[in-house]
Amino acid sequence: MTYKEEFITFMVRSGVLTFGDFTTKSGRKTPYFVNTGNYKTGAQAARLGDYYAACIQENLPGGIDCLFGPAYKGIPLAVSAASSLYRSYGRDLPYCFNRKEAKDHGEGGTMVGYKPQDGDRVAVIEDVVTAGTAVRETMELFKHVARVEVKALFVSVDRMERGTRDCSTLDELRQDFGIQVFPIVTVREIISFLYNNPVDGKVCIDDGIRARMEDYLAEYGAE
Catalytic residue selected from 103, 115, 144, 151 = 103
What residues contact 100, with CB distance under 8 A and at least 6 apart? 71, 72
CA separation, residue 26 to residues 29, 130, 158 (Å):
9, 9, 16
Residue 61 sits at φ, ψ, to 5 deg, of -70, -5
Q: What is the 3-state secondary structure (H, E, C) of 110-143?
A: EEEECCCCCCCEEEEECCCCCCCHHHHHHHHHHC
Distance CA 49, CA 81 (A): 4
Question: Does the annotation mark 144 as catalytic?
Answer: no
Catalytic residue selected from 105, 115, 143, 202 = 105
Could you list the active site residues?
103, 105
